[in-house]
Amino acid sequence: MESRNLYKSFILFILVLVLMLLASCSPIVVSSRIGQPPPPWFYPNRLEVVRYVYFPEYSFYYDLSARTYVYLNGGVWVRRNVLPPRYRNIDLRRAKYERIRNYNDENIRRYHEDNNANRGRSNRTTPRSNTRKN
């Protein structure tokens, strides 16, 4: 009887070890919706908790937990299941994106204003003084 329990423990150990090795080879995303894989363009290389992904070239977000795109439409942030026609020709698998870590709030407007409002602007429009000290 004891050898049977030892055999079961050994098989369980091997099974857990194989599962851990397989899990370390593939991307893992922690999401609130179990059973639904992330979109095909989102492949993280390690375990991380991310709710939003930001596409800086196009200035829109994707909410991984709600499976919706979040973008400005007429000055108002909207959530939609599909992108509007102006974004339809984008290949999201090749587009640059940033993972937004440690932000889980529903209000993406606040995050965007705090972190991305001045993105892409330069200080070249600031007037420079033409006087030089000799």
Domain count, the chain: 1
Using CB atoms within 10 A of its CB, is residue 77 exposed (0-12), middle (13-18) or buried (19+)? middle
As a whole number of angstroms, the distance between CA 42 and CA 96 comes to 11
With respect to residue 38, please indicate whether it lies within any of the assigned structural domains.
yes
Regarding pTM above 0.85, the answer is no
pLDDT of residue 133: 47
Cα Rg for the chain, rounded, in angstroms?
Answer: 23
In the chain, which ranges are E strands? 29-30, 48-55, 60-63, 68-73, 76-80, 98-101
User: How does the average pLDDT of the chain come out, rounded?
Assistant: 77
With respect to residue 26, please indicate whether it lies within any of the assigned structural domains.
yes
The region of weakest confidence among 5-9, 16-20, 90-94, 106-110 is: 16-20
pLDDT of residue 8: 84
The region of weakest confidence among 9-13, 43-47, 84-88, 100-104 is: 43-47
Residue 32, C-beta contacts closer than 8 angstroms, at least 6 positions apart: 65
With respect to residue 134, please indicate whether it lies within any of the assigned structural domains.
no
Strands 76-80 and 68-73: antiparallel
The 10s digit of each residue's pLDDT in 54-84 is 999 999 999 998 999 999 999 999 999 999 9
